[in-house]
Amino acid sequence: MTASTRLTHATVIAGLAAFAAHGGSAYAQATRPQGGTTDTVSVEGTIDAVSPAGLTIRTTDGITQLFVLLEKIFVHDSRPQPDDELSGLHRGMTVVVHYSGTGAEATVQEVDRLDGAGLKITEGRVTSINRDRDQITVRLENGTTETLKLSNRVSRNEGRDLDAAGSRVVVYYTDDHGVKEVHYFRRKK
């Protein structure tokens, strides 16, 4: 084991210990994200526990995942970003966690609130997804179409289960001076 690997393992163990010490009892049932991608992955769920060391999320498919926070992350919230970016997050809140890596190497990059106090929401039917141009076009209920920019956090694989056209979707986005940037989208339930 190299010094770098020992340091990484020590950092993760220290993070897990701090998480447990701060009320992260959900850790006992939680798993770390698995897979094998270097792309950003998005997972939607409800916060079970939050502490300075990590988040425990119950995903929409019922799996509890632990995300250790080793770096500063960005939280999309309706309030200005405080020094403590986790202060607006609490148990029971619906969020999307954007991360890359797997297991102990999973690194959270961004957390988006989906409860109305975070990202803006629109619904419609997909008319096209152009990943080369980072765009999604949606036909709204009133018959108009809107093309939105896909953020760099939207996975290249996100929405692959949607038909090229016609799938009903919910799109979560920010609006910065008229530029609508999508942070997450999913099939409407």
Q: Is the confidence at residue 180, as pLDDT, over 80?
A: yes
Q: Give the residue from 93, 113, 133 where a domain finishes.
A: 113
Q: How many domains does the chain have?
A: 2
Q: What own/partner pairs with CB < 8 Å and gap ≥ 24 does 184-189 have? A: 184/42, 184/44, 184/96, 184/98, 184/112, 184/114, 184/119, 184/154, 184/158, 185/136, 185/154, 185/158, 185/159, 186/44, 186/159, 187/161, 187/162, 188/123
In the prediction, which pLDDT does 188 show? 87
Residues 80, 132, single domain; the answer is no
- Do 107 and 20 lie in one domain? The reply is yes
Q: What CATH number is given to the structural domain containing 28?
A: 2.40.50.320
**What is the pLDDT, as a whole number, of residue 104?**
67
Residue range 6-54, pLDDT digits in tens: 333 333 433 444 444 444 444 434 454 454 455 778 889 999 998 887 8
- What confidence score (pLDDT) does residue 131 get? 84
The identity of residue 136, as a single letter, is I
- Residue 165 reports pLDDT greater than 90: no
Judge if 103 and 129 occupy the same domain.
no
Q: Could you tell me the residue range of the domain that residue 143 belongs to? A: 120-187
Rounded CA gap, 114 and 172, in Å? 8
Q: Report how far apart, in Å, the C-alpha atoms of 125 and of each of 44, 82, 136, 182 are.
A: 20, 36, 10, 15
- Please tell me the predicted confidence (pLDDT) of residue 49: 93
Cα within 13 Å of Cα(21), Cβ side? 8
Q: How confident is the model at residue 87 (pLDDT cuts 50, 70, 90)?
A: confident
Separation in Å, CA 40 to CA 15, 37, 121, 185: 22, 8, 21, 14
Indicate whether 78 pLDDT > 80.
no
pTM: 0.72
